[in-house]
Amino acid sequence: MTITIGSRESALAVIQSEIVMAAIRKAHPELTLELLTMKTTGDRILDRTLDKIGGKGLFVKELCAALREGRVDLTVHSCKDFPMEEDPDLPLTAFFRREDPRDVLVLPQGQTEIDFSKPVGCASLRRSLQFQALYPQAQVAPVRGNVPTRLRKLDEGQFSALILAGAGLRRLGLEDRIYRTFSPEEMLPAAGQGILAVQTRADFDLSLLACVDDPDSRDCARSERSFVRTLDGGCSSPVAAYATVAGSTITMEGIYVDEANRLYRGKISGPREQGPALAAELALQLKEEASWAEK
């Protein structure tokens, strides 16, 4: 039996797909796995920020089409980049064990402190707002491209620093570029950050994916995505959501950002099986808090 895995063609996307493929091969040596890479619309358009061209859904459009047409059997995504609304015919069916979800600061090669005379490169409003709360003197400018492209721009002197997801750097073997790791208290991660999500057609044999489906990652991802979805946010939205589990309890932290870019933060805990409902409850609480503040 041959299974074809669809992936974006960037180095990080390929490595992430290979991580999932290695786990499947180990559990199912009888399977033959093939990788099919493709360039997505989001990879092609690099001169505008994602909110100006349709959001991060542009990174999955071609992959979803390949899955629907049967050219691939499953696709691997960074969960944080996958649209919050799922097509029931093409569901997310497995969530790989979470890598460290924290954001990190990267400096140019040889530098040991931030030069605030230059902008900090950041493609996320969520990160920008939280970073400027820590460093009010900083100027933040958008930066697009894959991780190696962003690092090249940094080392060429276009930026004083970059804010990136530490998980991506570690998977690329570039953890030595990390200057500082932000705690969740300093910078709350994006929903699903650090988790690899596997997407299939609804009729796929899910028993083949039990080896790559981590219960903790699944419960956290579902809860974090529920928080963002309740606020009508997408994966380009500035809201932040981070869940942790301990035994039978899940704790959800979230940030809601109003139209004036004011941040409202809260936390809620309860039975892990109620994670998505608890996340939605927290989202509504923060939204109500923001509406009262506006009055």
Residues assigned a catalytic role: 81
Helix (H) / strand (E) element for 28: namely none
Q: Please report where in the chains the tokens 């690899």 appear, as a residue.
A: 196
Q: Please report where in the chains the tokens 């953890």 appear, as a residue.
A: 175
Q: What beta strand segments (E) does 109-176 contain?
A: 120-121, 140-141, 161-165
The span from the CA of 21 to the CA of 223, in Å, is 26
* Nearest alpha carbon to residue 190 among 150, 163, 162: 163
DSSP string, 81-95: GS-SS--TTS-EEEE
Q: Are 83 and 89 in contact (CB under 8 A)?
A: no
Cβ within 8 Å of residue 123, ≥6 positions away: 49, 50, 142, 143, 144
Q: Please report where in the chains the tokens 């950002």 appear, as a residue.
A: 257
The span from the CA of 224 to the CA of 275, in Å, is 8
Q: Rounded to 5 degrees, what are φ and ψ at 121?
A: -80, 125
Q: Which two tokens stand for residue 287?
A: 């939204």
Q: Are 215 and 71 in contact (CB under 8 A)?
A: no
Q: Which two tokens stand for residue 219?
A: 């419960």
